[in-house]
Amino acid sequence: MSDNAEPQNEAWVDLSGYTPGGYRPGRGKLTQIVWYFVSVFVFESGWFPVSRLKCSILRCFGAKVGRNVTIKPNVRIKYPWRLNVGDHTWIGQESWIDNLGDVRLGSHVCLSQRAYLCCGGHDHRRRGFDLIVGDITLEDGSWVGAGATVLGGVTVGTNAIAAAGSVVTKDVPAAKVVGGVPARVLGDRERPGGLGIGAGG
């Protein structure tokens, strides 16, 4: 090994003085604390299954939530004031919306069980492990499968699908199906038959 080579047995990052830099959650400490306790003891509870009441709680904390939204038990949302949900959208059991950035779920979106939307990350090239935050958008009619992860800065296009267990690191074009780690395009989503959304009587 040359004299200039980096030692392999030492940590390349220093977390001892980590700070989030200029990041701001969007609400003060008191609101964050109140939301934490409401979330843990009420919103996330399996004993509180009523979606309409959960939507009302989210709105009280600044979320924009549309009509007929279904929220299953044990859903976690970091900052509701950074959440925008359209109409007729489903948020599946044990999903985690870790929204340091803004998250927008369009209408008729399905977020399946244990899906993870992760807006935050870290710059591994920086010794201070600097925080990186990106917004996430799931456009109308998209579906994020069970156990899939969508990272910050990603848009999942209209009617696109992220397969179960996939890790989505870049934008998904409309009506495409992606899967794998990292996710790649597997094919096109076929238009469903029968009575479609917006079909005439």
Six token digits for residue 77: 């949302």
Instruction: Given the residues 88, 108, 122, 124, select the one marked as catalytic.
Output: 122
Give backbone dihedrals phi and psi of 17, rounded to 5 degrees, phi first. Answer: -115, 30
Separation CA 142–CA 173 (nearest Å): 11
Six token digits for residue 22: 């200029």
Nearest one of 116, 79, 121 to 94, comparing CA atoms: 116
**Residue 122 annotated to the active site:** yes
Active site residues: 122
